[in-house]
Structure 1
Amino acid sequence: MHAENLRPDPLIWGKGPRVFEIFLEPTCPFSVRAFNKLDALLDLVGEEAMTLKIRLQSQPWHLYSGVIVRYILAASCLPEGKEAAKAVLRAVADHREEFEFIDHCRGDNMQTTPAELLARLKHYSGVDADAPFDRAELQNEIKWHCKYARQNGIHVSPTFMINGLMQADIGSGDEVASWAKRLLA
């Protein structure tokens, strides 16, 4: 893998004209709630009618955020690409308490090392992204996600955009049908 260029697979599903972008922090409970609705949104609207783009929004108050985002993007560099990244996102969503602090500052994870965190990600997802995780140039992809969010005025997660415009009134608690209606309007 070191001899070739690192090529992250964009976290994009569908190929329709209406674009639904979502900015997620993987351990945020609201992002998890939104992430868990994305497959249903694609099924409801259809991959021919919409394009779903997941953008990662690392946030410093989620203390393991940087390590987890890096692992997700590393997974996207594997032959399974975005599906490997999605498996890591699913693993974090399904086991969120193992990747987050209580009140962002205390709890069982206080003694967790980055190596233990990576082992948990690999164990729960079944995705071994150690090799691309270890590549320094992966930070270019991480920086791209950060810059893209900043350029669009995104500071928290989850945040939603439809056809390039931020939708401040869409939330993770909304029904999938509500998202679909807004997307198709």
Structure 2
Amino acid sequence: MALPPKFSGQLLTSASGSSAKHTIELYLDYVCPFSAKIFKTFYSSVVPLINQKYTSPGIRVIFRQQIQPWHPSSTLTHEAGAAVLRTAPNSFWAFSEKLFEHQKEYFDVNVVNEGRNETYKRLAKLAGSVEGVDEKTILDLLVVSDKPGEDGSLNVGNKVTDDVKFQVKANRVTGVHVTPTVLFNGVEERSISSGWTAEQWDEWLGKNAV
């Protein structure tokens, strides 16, 4: 699937780049423990392998944000990701790494007694700890007003609602449900597990990324 320019930060620029022949798409949810597990291994160990061993014909890597609505905070965390994409796209992967490190702080038990805008404040502060991201700018995009819109509407959303809508619509086209899900050249690769080691990734890449 194509990557709209407004979401260009989801493309990992440190990997093979836009001219690569293969594409790996990682469908991940910020409050999914298994997503955190695969992201940590992939980002810290597999990406260096791609850059060292699999530069020809090359591999594009795309992070697809997959909201899992049975955890209400999933939407809030992905909205924060959308805000970073809009204001500091080059910091999106670094922010994602930081958010996965702190994901338990946004699990159900840790947000159930917290107002939505309070959760946004914590997310904006976390984002602001990443180089290139401004906390106040992120918070401005996330907060939801308690006043009706100019047309009297009460479902006013926030300034990244439309971005999240687009991502959800795009993901529905692929039919992805479970997180994590990995697509290779547009097709789900069910053999890949969140528990894979760097060595297992290397073996799989050696057979498929040629």
- How does the TM-score come out when normalised to structure 2? 0.73
Distance 1:66 1:123 in 2: 17
Whether the 8 Å contact between 1:42 and 1:50 is mirrored in structure 2 is no
Distance 1:38 1:147 in 2: 26
Larger radius of gyration: 2
Matched, 1:144 2:166: yes
Post-superposition shift, 1:86? 2.4
Show the counterpart of 1:23.
Answer: 27
Matched, 1:59 2:64: no
Give the secondary-structure state (helix, strand or coil) at the position aligned to 2:179: coil
Give the secondary-structure state (helix, strand or coil) at the position aligned to 2:162: helix
- RMSD over equivalenced CA pairs, Å: 2.3
| Deviation sequence 1:38-95 (CA, Å, 0-9, x none) | 32211101184211100001011222011111110111111x3141x22332232111
Post-superposition shift, 1:137? 6.0
Matched, 1:72 2:71: no
Q: How does 1:160-171 map to 2 (within 5 A)?
A: 160-171=182-193
Identity %: 23
Give the secondary-structure state (helix, strand or coil) at the position aligned to 1:52: strand
Letter in 2 for 1:37: T
Distance 2:26 2:72 in 1: 21
Distance 1:141 1:110 in 2: 25
Show the counterpart of 2:126.
Answer: 124
Post-superposition shift, 1:136? 5.1
Letter in 1 for 2:22: R
- How does the TM-score come out when normalised to structure 1? 0.82
Alignment equivalent of 1:86, drawn from 93, 96, 121: 93
Distance 2:125 2:83 in 1: 15
Q: Name the structure where helix makes up a greater proportion of residues.
A: 2
- Could you list the runs of 4 or more consecutive aligned residues of structure 1 that deviate by over 4 angstroms after TM superposition? 134-137
Q: How many residues align?
A: 173
Q: How does 1:170-185 map to 2 (within 5 A)?
A: 170-184=192-206, 185=208
